[in-house]
Amino acid sequence: MAISGLKGRSLLSLREFSGDEIRELLNRAADLKERSTLGQNAPVLAGKNIALIFLKPSCRTRVSFVVASTQSGAHAEIFNREDIRFGIKESVRDIARVFGRVFDGVMFRGFEHATVAEFAEYAGVPVWNGLCDSYHPTQVLADLLTLQENFGDLEGLPLTYVGDGRNNMAITLGIAAAKVGLDLRILSPKELQPAPGVIDELLVNRESEQARVLVTDSLEEALAGSACVYGDVWVSMGEEDQTQERINLLRDLKVTNDVMALSGRKDTIYLHCLPAFHLLDTETARAYPDICEVDDDVFEGDRSRVFDQSENRMHTAKALMQLTIAG
Ligand code: CP
Ligand code: NVA
């Protein structure tokens, strides 16, 4: 297994890391999690400065990278959309070069993937994609750690993603499947399924014989034998004008205890990247009472691991920053 070959590298879609490098990072994250619980955080990044750029809002990504930086001995500075006016007053490449001269690593949450890719090209320091319209690799690292904690080996593990099959979560889980050998089923209505070429590209580059990516609109086919049902909001950030249309397309795929039971397994867990609609306790949910992608019974039930998964954002962010900055 590669040891510390990650120094100086960026994480933009997850394609950049090999399956072995992902496993190395997950093992480091598990070790850091244990040390953190024992109060044994080592200042591996003492004296380093981390920039966190948010062009879209965030809760988990922000708290994860801030606390992971602090626990590693580094300083994290946050920049919101109004602080950095990409493409309005200054080009992406000029801002990237300024940040690269001053910071040791940059977490970037934006819109088009091309922007974070251009930023990484010019920054000259590790850049970590904290979500764009196409990918969410720092989330998927936490997802894989949570799966590893629950099931051990990831090779051949059946996982069912339910929702918009073209979005950042579905595609990044597909890349992960090809890298570490997951048996991924993407359950989506035909209108929201990824283009066949996208899945073909993932599988051509698979690193494990066990890697599978099935796209289907059949609940039975997607759920049979599944170890994990994975949820996401039906409407991603920036697509709010399509809310009613998405509800109409996805309402039959709401995850209930009956849907969970279709796995035929007693140990099937529920994961969700969050934020989630599971109760009508937010402004958006009150405006769209059918927007919940998961029943509260499942979200709060004993099969749910969503807050372990959320905590794992911090441990995997810490491993990612330490390995790519310090090696
Ligand atoms: N899962 C996730 O990325 O959450 P935030 O949007 O709150 O950062
Ligand atoms: N698909 C969601 C993921 C949120 C973590 C979005 O882009 O809004």
Per residue in 124-141, pLDDT (tens digit) is 999 999 999 999 999 999
pLDDT of residue 278: 97
> Ligand 2 atom 8: the closest Cα is on which residue?
236
Second CATH level (architecture) for the domain 139-310 = 3-Layer(aba) Sandwich (3.40)
Please determine, for residue 252, whether its predicted confidence score (pLDDT) is greater than 80: yes
Q: Which fold has domain 3-135+312-325?
A: Rossmann fold (3.40.50)
Q: Alpha-carbon distance 236 to 245, whole Å?
A: 13
Please determine, for residue 207, whether its predicted confidence score (pLDDT) is greater than 90: yes
Q: Alpha-carbon distance 58 to 71, whole Å?
A: 20
Q: Do domains 3-135+312-325 and 139-310 have the same CATH topology?
A: yes
Mean pLDDT of the chain: 96
Q: pLDDT tens-digit profile of 150-170?
A: 999 999 999 999 999 999 999
Would you kindly state where each structural domain of the chain is located, as residue ranges?
3-135+312-325, 139-310
Please determine, for residue 1, whether its predicted confidence score (pLDDT) is greater than 60: no
Please determine, for residue 2, whether its predicted confidence score (pLDDT) is greater than 60: no
Q: Which atom of ligand 2 is nearest to the CA of 133?
A: 7
Please determine, for residue 231, whether its predicted confidence score (pLDDT) is greater than 60: yes
DSSP H or E stretch at residue 285: helix 283-287
Q: How many Cβ atoms are within 10 Å of 239's Cβ, its own excluded?
A: 15
Q: Select the more confidently predicted residue: 88 or 254.
A: 254
Q: Considering every ligand atom, which ligand is closest to the CA of 306?
A: 1
Q: pLDDT tens-digit profile of 176-194?
A: 999 999 999 999 999 999 9
Taking the centre of ligand 2 as the mean of its atom positions, its distance from the CA of residue 63, in whole angstroms, is 16
Q: pLDDT tens-digit profile of 25-52?
A: 999 999 999 999 999 999 999 999 999 9
Query: What's the whole-number mean pLDDT along residues 197-221?
Result: 96
> Going along 37-115, which residue ranges are E strands?
49-54, 75-80, 105-109
The pTM of this model reads: 0.97
Closest of 232, 146, 218, 235 to residue 182, by C-alpha: 146
Q: Is residue 168 lining ligand 2, measured as CB closer than 6 Å?
A: yes
Q: Is residue 169 lining ligand 1, measured as CB closer than 6 Å?
A: no
> Ligand 1 atom 6: the closest Cα is on which residue?
58
Say if residues 11 and 39 touch (Cβ distance below 8 Å).
no
Taking the centre of ligand 1 as the mean of its atom positions, its distance from the CA of residue 308, in whole angstroms, is 14
Q: Alpha-carbon distance 15 to 112, whole Å?
A: 17
Annotated active-site positions, please?
A: 109, 136, 139, 232, 273, 313
> Ligand 2 atom 6: the closest Cα is on which residue?
236
Say if residues 137 and 202 touch (Cβ distance below 8 Å).
no
Q: What percent of the chain has pLDDT over 90?
A: 95
Phi-psi region of 181 (alpha: psi -120 to 50; beta: other; left: phi over 0): left
Q: Is residue 142 lining ligand 2, measured as CB closer than 6 Å?
A: no
Q: pLDDT tens-digit profile of 278-309?
A: 998 899 999 999 999 999 999 999 999 999 99
pLDDT class of 147 with cuts at 50, 70, 90: very high
pLDDT of residue 3: 60
Q: pLDDT tens-digit profile of 60-79?
A: 999 999 999 999 999 999 99
pLDDT class of 115 with cuts at 50, 70, 90: very high
pLDDT of residue 84: 87
